[in-house]
Amino acid sequence: MKNTYSRRNFIQSGALMATACVASSATPAVAQALPETGRPSPVKLGICSYTFRNFTRAQMLGFLKELNLADLNVKDTKDHLPMDSAAEAAALADYAAAGIKLHAAGAIYFPKDDESDIRGKFEYAKRAGIGTIVAGDPTPESLKWIERFVKEYDIKIAIHNHGPEDKFFPSPFDVLKAIKDLDPRIGFCIDVGHAARANANLVEAIHATGARLYDMHIKDLTSFTSRESQVAVGEGILPIREIFQALIDIKYHGFVDLEYEINGDNPMPGVIESFGYMRGVLTGMGYINKAASGS
């Protein structure tokens, strides 16, 4: 695949976004860029390996280098991080050699009340040295095993909401009801696109999850009712600037991981545009952003 954006295009796009004041798409008035604070951005950007699901690990490593990204939410897709222990070890060696840090694994699914199956997934994360598992659609029955294993392994679980189609966890508020009395290492991965489609107020959801927000999947939509309306971040109607401000307000320490689920055979133009916009938003909020400035 030949990318249509160069690294220079990428850096310039971030700077242009900042100069353009980077207002939230959902805000009618254009927000003014703030004076630079001299502080690095408190919002840490990463990416989900699912974005590159049609590409091998070696190809993905090339994309990450082009994006100036070292932080990856990795998934057992293609050969990104296989569940097989030997193949997993080979992948981990490649990531270490490339300077890639794995901060989360997932989404990993917990579809059944099965102690052995659930333990195996914790072992998978433990071998990789990953401290957060993004859990997709855990059944209510599986939560008792998940709670047992977060205590045993001291690995966090971030339950991922999947929108109106999810019979258990459409929005972060549904996750909150299910886990409020469980071990605090069981928390949230807010997927902003799916949460918006489930009629969740994203800023309120971030504040409600608070210290138990362990990961975030970010994307953008042009419609609150259609999952097929995904676009590059900044082209849609989600309040990106307000989302970042809410994360700063709660002193969020995790990553904001781009999960770009469209154009699977040619994702890089949209991925580059998304990072250019997000980095520009943060620059417009007054924070130093090395990638956006080209340093």
CATH code: domain of residue 64: 3.20.20.150
Residue 156 lies in a domain: yes
Q: CA-CA distance, 175 to 245, in Å (whole number)?
A: 22
Q: How many CA atoms lie within 13 A of 212 on its CB side?
A: 21
pLDDT of 33: 63
Q: Tell me the backbone φ, ψ of residue 235, rounded to 5 degrees.
A: -95, -10
CA distances (Å), 51 to each of 1, 129, 271, in order?
15, 22, 9
pLDDT of 57: 98
* Domain region containing 284: 7-293
Residue 288 lies in a domain: yes
> How many domains does the chain contain in total?
1
Task: With beta carbons less than 8 A apart as the criterion, state whether 133 and 108 touch.
Answer: yes
Residue 1 lies in a domain: no
- DSSP-derived letter for residue 228 is G
Note the helical H segments in the chain: 7-19, 57-67, 85-98, 115-128, 143-153, 172-179, 192-197, 202-209, 240-249, 268-284, 290-293
Residue 248 lies in a domain: yes
- Radius of gyration of the chain from Cα atoms? 18
pLDDT of 11: 37
Q: Is the pTM of this model over 0.85?
A: yes
Mean pLDDT by runs of 10 across the 295 residues of the chain is 37 41 39 67 97 98 96 97 98 98 96 93 98 94 96 98 92 96 98 97 97 98 95 98 98 98 98 97 87 39
Q: CA-CA distance, 239 to 234, in Å (whole number)?
A: 9
pLDDT of 67: 95
Residue 2 lies in a domain: no
Residue 280 lies in a domain: yes
CA distances (Å), 129 to each of 73, 96, 240, in order?
13, 12, 31
pLDDT of 242: 98
Place of tokens 């689920």: 261
pLDDT of 288: 80
